[in-house]
Amino acid sequence: MVEYRIDRRSGVATYLQIVQQTRQAMRLGLLQPGDRLPTAREVVAATAINPNTVLKAYRELEREGLVEPRPGLGTFVRRSLARPEAAAGSPLRVELAAWMDRARAAGLDREDVTALLGSVLDERFGGLGEAADGPEPAGGAAPAEGAAVDRGDGVG
């Protein structure tokens, strides 16, 4: 089961953090079709956020066709976003882990790596809101970690 980690200083709306973390868990194969998401009550107990914020996130995931509520049972994953190329032990993931090890050995910290990764992502896949040269990655682009997003809901 996924455990949500809320960063109140990120500038990203809390419900969007839940949506993004759920999508990420689905992409990495940590959540599979048929898996139950934590109940709003469980998320509230673990994160001390408003239950309406959790429900808003789950409604967004439902709108995207990723999850489905089952009355009296919970909210369940409908489809997978996992790709074999991103699985643990895949050649791309092993290569990326080795690169991260080299970056750390070279003295880069987490923020340096995040900035470098974001820069190369923008260069290769196009920045937020602009078309990339070449084919768009499956699933579209997601906001960069720590990117400011208009909350719009006043909850979170």
**Orientation of helix 110-125 relative to helix 91-105, angle to 10°:** 130
Kindly write down the DSSP assignment for every residue of 9-61, as one continuous string: TSSS-HHHHHHHHHHHHHHTTSS-TTPBPPPHHHHHHHH---HHHHHHHHHHH
Tens digits of residue pLDDT in 12-50:
999 999 999 999 999 988 999 999 999 999 999 999 999
- Give the CA angle between residues 37, 128, 151 to the nearest 5°: 55
Task: Quote the pLDDT of residue 128.
Answer: 62
pLDDT of 142 > 50? The answer is no
Helix, strand, coil % in the chain, rounded to nearest 5: 45, 5, 50
Tens digits of residue pLDDT in 108-121:
999 999 999 999 99
Helix and strand totals (H; E) in the chain: 5, 2
Contacts of 45 (CB under 8 A, 6+ apart): none
